[in-house]
Structure 1
Amino acid sequence: MKLKSLAVSLCLTSLMLSGCASKYVAPEQYSGFLKDYSVLKEDKSPSGAPVMRWIKPGIDVSQFTSVYVEPSQLFPQPQPTEKIPQSTLDGITKYYDQALQTQFSKALPLASAPGPGVLIVRPAITAVSASTKGLQPYEVIPIALIAAGVSTATGIRDQDTSIATEAAFLNGNDGTVVAQVVRKGAGTELDNSSQVMTANDAKAVLDGWAQDMLKSFEQLKHK
């Protein structure tokens, strides 16, 4: 009975916490990857997702004739775990690069290096985490590569996965920042606490981020 009561208490606490949790990345969770966070404001992405972002006022994106996607970084560099191994981290950054290149190539030719007329996309994965479903997820920045522990007696075994990104967009002419975005998303739910997270569990989130970035660019282009 005591175990059952504990499980109920944990669930209720979790519901209250998750109801109050912001969908925006909080300032204390910023990784330090971007140079200036003070300009960020709460906004919605083209798909309606909550983001923290900034776009340089009056920016004319028609000046960009090609786009260069820098290899995405894990920032700060994390230590892999059994739950989230190095192969998963490498797979996430590799797929993120592919997703960004696929989307931006629909609007601009891909450049092989920065230069005049080039829009530079500088992305980073700043959090990857897995936590027991029904408990408050761990989303500690720098990268949280930990799984929340809970007794199987509670009956809560599914695992939530989450991931966060920060990205800067630079003018290839002089390297000035023309836009920034910070956001997070939920990955595929894992079946249990022993299941290892793979890059496939984050692909839908990464695709969505890349699609929103392209749509934001296109919206600016047609203003």
Structure 2
Amino acid sequence: MNHLVKIILLTCLISTLVACSSRVPNTTEQSDFLTHYEQLQEVKTPSSNIIKAWKAAQLETTKKQKLIFTPIEFKPLNKNNKMGDKFTTILLNYTNQQIQHELEKHFELTQHSGPEILRFEGIITSVDATPEDFKFYEALPVMLVVAGTQLAVGSRDADTNIYFEWKVTNSVTHTPLYEAIRKNKGTQLSNTEQTITLEDLKEAIDTIADEVVPNA
């Protein structure tokens, strides 16, 4: 293998690693829950996270409107995103509690639809543990062998992640007024064979709840 080919392969590999370390969901990490994924733009949140979001010009969040809160559901992206029933229940209960509490600060919650009443809906699409983001020095050929070996035996640190999509619509016409998707990192596990618990994801869920209202 000549020197030029090695450089090309290494460049491609580094690009792949950078893409894998992205904290913004890509097209394979989104469901069919939202209406127009192509309208979503990257936005920096107060917590310095990057999310993808879109807001209609007519959505007014400076005044306290009425809003129907629809409990968060788990809608797995694919068969690999399954969670046990007990963990799903615990996760959804905590997520609903935190998000509803935040919405109550900005909206008057109601159970009745109306022309001027909004509806909030959200889903968790996945909870997973992925190998810790590669450091720059690990992109060197000699380190890739070591890092690859560590990953294969499951001894590498793993990042926990939770994927969340949500939207605000008109409760009568169902017209989209706000749509967003995000991927938040939870507690780091010592390896990919550990079991993820609610405690590992609480901080990530709290951040999602704090920033669930547009321009809050």
TM range (shorter): 0.7 to 0.9
Aligned: 1:208 with 2:207: yes
3-state secondary structure, aligned to 1:203: helix
**C-alpha displacement of 1:67:** 2.1
Structure 1 residues 78 and 85: CA distance shift in structure 2, 3 A = farther
Corresponding position of 1:57? 57
Structure 1 residues 55 and 134: CA distance shift in structure 2, 3 A = closer
Give unmatched runs, 5+ long, in structure 1.
Answer: 1-12, 137-147, 219-223
3-state secondary structure, aligned to 2:25: coil
| Coordinate RMSD, CA, aligned | 3.1
Residue type at the aligned position of 1:129: D
Residue type at the aligned position of 2:51: V
8 A Cα contact 2:129 2:159, kept in partner: yes
1:31-46 alignment, distance < 5 Å? 31-46=31-46
8 A Cα contact 1:122 1:167, kept in partner: yes
8 A Cα contact 1:128 1:162, kept in partner: yes
* 1:150 aligned residue (143, 149, 152): 152
Superposed CA offset, 1:57-113 (max 9, x none): 24334676222221112123766899x533222222221111111101112222234
Structure 1 residues 133 and 63: CA distance shift in structure 2, 3 A = closer
How many pairs were matched up?
190
Corresponding position of 1:165? 164
In 1, the alpha carbon distance for the partners of 2:202 and 2:173 equals 33
8 A Cα contact 2:157 2:192, kept in partner: yes
Corresponding position of 1:23? 23
3-state secondary structure, aligned to 1:163: strand
In 1, the alpha carbon distance for the partners of 2:23 and 2:131 equals 18
Corresponding position of 2:196? 197
Residue type at the aligned position of 1:47: S
Corresponding position of 1:6? none
1:181-192 alignment, distance < 5 Å? 181-192=180-191
Structure number with larger C-alpha Rg: 2
**C-alpha displacement of 1:211:** 0.8
Residue type at the aligned position of 1:119: L
3-state secondary structure, aligned to 1:126: strand
Superposed CA offset, 1:120-140 (max 9, x none): 11101112111344679xxxx
**C-alpha displacement of 1:19:** 3.6
Structure 1 residues 120 and 41: CA distance shift in structure 2, 3 A = same
**Normalising by structure 2, what TM-score?**
0.73
In 1, the alpha carbon distance for the partners of 2:27 and 2:81 equals 26
Structure 1 residues 164 and 77: CA distance shift in structure 2, 3 A = closer
3-state secondary structure, aligned to 2:37: coil
Corresponding position of 1:71? 71
Corresponding position of 1:106? 105
Give unmatched runs, 5+ long, in structure 2.
Answer: 1-11, 136-149
3-state secondary structure, aligned to 1:213: coil
In 2, the alpha carbon distance for the partners of 1:89 and 1:15 equals 35
Residue type at the aligned position of 2:205: L
In 2, the alpha carbon distance for the partners of 1:81 and 1:56 equals 31
Corresponding position of 1:175? 174
In 2, the alpha carbon distance for the partners of 1:17 and 1:119 equals 41
